[in-house]
Amino acid sequence: MRFVRHVLAVVVLLAVCCGSAAAQSGGELRLFLRSDPKTFNALLAGDDASETVGYLTGGRLIRFDRQTQELKPELASSWKALENGKRIRFKLRENVKFSDGTPFTPEDVKYSMQVLMDPKNESPHADSFRSGPGDVTVEVTGKNEVTVTFPAIVASLERQFDVVAMLSSRSPQKELAALGPFFLAEHKAGNYVLLKRNPYYWKKDGAGRQLPYLDSVRFDIAQNRDLELLRFRRGEIHLINSLDAENFDRLQQENASWVREVGVSFDVDFAWFNLSEASPVAGPKKLWFASRNFRRAVSEAINRNDICRVVYNRHASPAVGPVSPANHFWFNKKLTAHPYDPQSSLRLLQQDGFQLRDGSLYDKGGNAVEFSLITNAGNRARERMAAMIQQDLAKVGIKLNVVTLDTPSVIERITQSRDYEMCLFGFVNVDVDPMGQMNIWPSNGPMHAWNPGQKSPATPWEAELDSLMRAQASTNDAKARKAAFDRVQQIVWEQVPFIYLVHKNTMVAVSPALRNAAPVTLRPQTYWNIEYLALTPAAGQP
């Protein structure tokens, strides 16, 4: 009898395993891409669509786990940073093959680094490895062992390899030979991209089963969010990677199990004044914008809580600075968002000689305080934010003219002609590490938006920003880097070169037919763990 019970237990266990294995294998994941990928070379991908495809096809030596925010071994089974981050030695996994069967060897690492660092290829990831004058060299230092040497210390070195996809130096398919869980099977321009399971993918799950579980991933190419929502409702797509507040609420009303709000995102909306000396901004305005009191007064006159409530339906929180609270390590917890305080705002303005008369603000010279704010048209959230800021500033006597322009015109004004006064914009896909902001905080940086490309720092606080960013870039001591970047955030909070407004929350839609989905706030929010995603027969729409 005992024997029979054991046999029965084994049979039931087998049935459950086979059942769950059957439920967890196969199927085609369907979702949207907003535009055609510009390249299928995962190493050179810079635009959103190309990076999405590259994430699924490209194999990396090290992977930054989007959920735990820790580094995990991938194609490199282990690594060691040497000389404080000037060199790194990788031990590569053995018997790994590309999607066409070509073996993955140390030569491929060498080749990939050469392609990455070639200036002609204009890779967006190369500059973070250019730590000094000189070349990046790669040596094969043993069986399945490679050492990469940089001209100078690269801060957060291992983390940087999360974006470096490995290419094959020998495959006839060239950059289309994939080491990731999927490879490019079909592409119809303007229509869809189809990825199929990589038959040679090296990863297996805990039970020894070949990953990925999915047979294929199909991206339909469409910009229209209404169309995306419609098709999700119909069950024609399984994921929406980023929902705006209005659509989130709408879907939630229909079926709360479809949507997930994961927490505050890394994205940030902010505004800044044009402090560029080369700008054609009129004389008195240049003096206003150059005053720290003025900038801080404007910041305190803006009601961030109202923006979160009205524009984002409470799916956002006031921003403190460039780093989101979701970035647990780098966020400076000692800082809080500038309060909404029109009285304090007026006191700050009075310190600079501004006077409020008959509801209008005047400077020392008797000029009425009036300036324009540009932002890109078509972004409804920003248009509404601009209208709200206009009303908030009117309460302290400032007349703000909101000008919405098409995106190329905005970019042309802020990067080339510098013909603008104030700009409202946003950053998305912000890097976790401060190294991703090396072109923003240094005064000669092209993204030092308020006064880019300075030959020497225009103010003492910008000089301090320069030295702090250099300091954190030249060491891999986490504590020292943290201290330096905390100080950067403190300075930005005090001097207000950027007026940080809100971080919106990460909101996604996930079909109940999808198993093992665990959305996170870092991109790609819903399919960061694509190898483990599986489809079951739909348990109710979608």
Partner 1 sequence: MTWPRRLLRLCARLLLTALLGGFLGATLVRLAPGFSFDERELDPRYSRESIERMRAAGGAERRSVLAFYAGYLRNLFSGNLGESRAYRRPVSQLFSERVPVTLKSMGVALLIAWPAGLGLALLWSGGRNHTYELVTTLASGALLCLPSAVLALFFLYMDGPVALAMAVVILPRVFRFARNLITETGAMPHVLCASAKGVSRAGIVWRHLLPVAAPQLLALAGVSVSMALGASIPIEVICDSPGIGQLAWHAAQSRDLLVLVNVTLFVALVTLLANSLADAAGGVFERQPA
Partner 2 sequence: MSRARNFARGFLALVFAASLFAAWLAPVSYEVQFREAPNAAPSAAHPLGTDELGRDLLSRILYGSQVSLWLAPAAALIATLLAAVIGGVAGWLGGWWERLALAATDLSLSLPWLFLLLTVRAILPLNVPAWSSVLITFALLGVLGWSQAARVLCAGARSLRHSEFVLHARASGAFGARLFFRQILPNLKPVLAAQFLISIPIFILTEANLGMLGLGVAEPLPSWGNLLRSLESGPHIVQNPWRLAPLVLLVLVVSSFQLLLPREEFAS
Beta carbon nearer to partner 2, 422 or 435: 422
Which amino acid makes up residue 109?
A: V
Q: Among 77, 439, 475, 495, which residue sits at the site for partner 1 (rule: CB under 8 A)?
A: 439
Q: Among 312, 331, 371, 498, which residue sits at the site for partner 2 (rule: CB under 8 A)?
A: 371
Q: What is the 3-state secondary structure (H, E, C) of 235-280?
A: CCCCEECCCCHHHHHHHHHHCHHHEEEEEECCCEEEEEECCCCCCC
Is residue 122 a contact residue for partner 1 (CB under 8 A)? yes
Interface stretch with partner 1, choices 36-44, 330-338, 498-506, 508-516 (CB under 8 A): 36-44
Residue 83 binds which entry of partner 1, partner 2, none, with Cβ cut-offs from 5 to 8 Å by kind?
none
Q: Among 47, 145, 383, 477, which residue sits at the site for partner 2 (rule: CB under 8 A)?
A: 383
Residue 130 binds which entry of partner 2, partner 1, none, with Cβ cut-offs from 5 to 8 Å by kind?
partner 1
Beta carbon nearer to partner 1, 163 or 393: 163
Is residue 310 a contact residue for partner 2 (CB under 8 A)? yes
- What residues from 175 to 214 belong to the interface with partner 1 (CB under 8 A)? 189-191
Residue 16 binds which entry of partner 1, partner 2, none, with Cβ cut-offs from 5 to 8 Å by kind?
none
Is residue 28 a contact residue for partner 2 (CB under 8 A)? no
Residue 133 binds which entry of partner 2, partner 1, none, with Cβ cut-offs from 5 to 8 Å by kind?
none
Question: Shortest distance, CB of residue 357 to partner 2, whole angstroms?
Answer: 20
Is residue 133 a contact residue for partner 1 (CB under 8 A)? no
Question: Shortest distance, CB of residue 514 to partner 1, whole angstroms?
Answer: 23
Q: Say if residues 155 and 53 touch (Cβ distance below 8 Å).
A: no
Give, to the nearest 10 degrees, the angle between helix 292-301 and helix 380-394. 110
3-state helix, strand, coil in the chain (%, to 5): 35, 25, 45
Q: Among 164, 373, 386, 438, which residue sits at the site for partner 1 (rule: CB under 8 A)?
A: 438
Is residue 313 a contact residue for partner 1 (CB under 8 A)? no
Residue 74 binds which entry of partner 1, partner 2, none, with Cβ cut-offs from 5 to 8 Å by kind?
none
Using alpha carbons only, give the angle 239, 223, 387 rounded to the nearest 5 degrees. Answer: 105
Is residue 489 a contact residue for partner 1 (CB under 8 A)? no
Residue 401 binds which entry of partner 2, partner 1, none, with Cβ cut-offs from 5 to 8 Å by kind?
partner 2
b vs e for 126-149, b when ≥16 Cβ sit within 10 Å of the residue's Cβ? bebbbbeeeebebeeeeebbbbbb
Question: Shortest distance, CB of residue 306 to partner 2, whole angstroms?
Answer: 5
Q: Say if residues 251 and 243 touch (Cβ distance below 8 Å).
A: yes
Q: Among 391, 429, 467, 516, which residue sits at the site for partner 2 (rule: CB under 8 A)?
A: 391
Residue 306 binds which entry of partner 2, partner 1, none, with Cβ cut-offs from 5 to 8 Å by kind?
partner 2
Q: Among 404, 439, 475, 529, which residue sits at the site for partner 2 (rule: CB under 8 A)?
A: 404
Q: What is the DSSP string of 97-109?
A: B-TTSPBP-HHHH
| Backbone phi and psi for residue 70, each to the nearest 5 degrees, phi listed first | -120, 165
Q: Among 202, 258, 331, 420, which residue sits at the site for partner 2 (rule: CB under 8 A)?
A: 420
Would you call 494 exposed, middle or buried from its count of C-beta atoms within 10 A (0-12, 13-18, 19+)? Answer: exposed
Interface stretch with partner 1, choices 57-65, 287-295, 445-453, 513-521 (CB under 8 A): 445-453
# residues near partner 1 by CB under 8 A: 45
Q: Which of 206, 142, 122, 104 is nearest to 516 (CA)?
A: 206
Kind and range of the H or E element at 500? strand 498-510
Residue 3 to residues 9, 10, 12, 15, 16, Cα–Cα distance (Å)? 10, 11, 14, 18, 20
Using alpha carbons only, give the angle 502, 506, 510 rounded to the nearest 5 degrees. Answer: 160
Q: Among 257, 401, 415, 516, which residue sits at the site for partner 1 (rule: CB under 8 A)?
A: 415
Pairwise CA distance, residues 163 & 121, whole Å: 15
Q: What is the DSSP string of 4-47?
A: HHHHHHHHHHHHHHHHHHHHTS--EEEEEESS--S---TTT--S
Beta carbon nearer to partner 2, 262 or 403: 403
Is residue 226 a contact residue for partner 2 (CB under 8 A)? yes
Residue 202 to residues 146, 208, 281, 349, Cα–Cα distance (Å)? 19, 11, 58, 63
Is residue 428 a contact residue for partner 1 (CB under 8 A)? no
Question: Shortest distance, CB of residue 324 to partner 2, whole angstroms?
Answer: 25
For the beta carbon of residue 278, count every other beta carbon within 10 angstroms: 12
Pairwise CA distance, residues 40 & 56, whole Å: 11
Q: Which of 396, 309, 419, 416 is nearest to 350 (CA)?
A: 396
Give, to the nearest 10 degrees, the angle between helix 292-301 and helix 478-495. 90
The residue ranges that bind partner 1 (CB under 8 A) are: 36, 38-39, 46-47, 119, 122, 124-128, 130, 189-191, 222-224, 226-227, 230, 406-413, 415-417, 427, 431, 436-440, 444-447, 453
The residue ranges that bind partner 2 (CB under 8 A) are: 226, 246, 250, 306, 309-310, 370-372, 374, 377-378, 383-384, 386-388, 390-391, 401-406, 409, 419-421
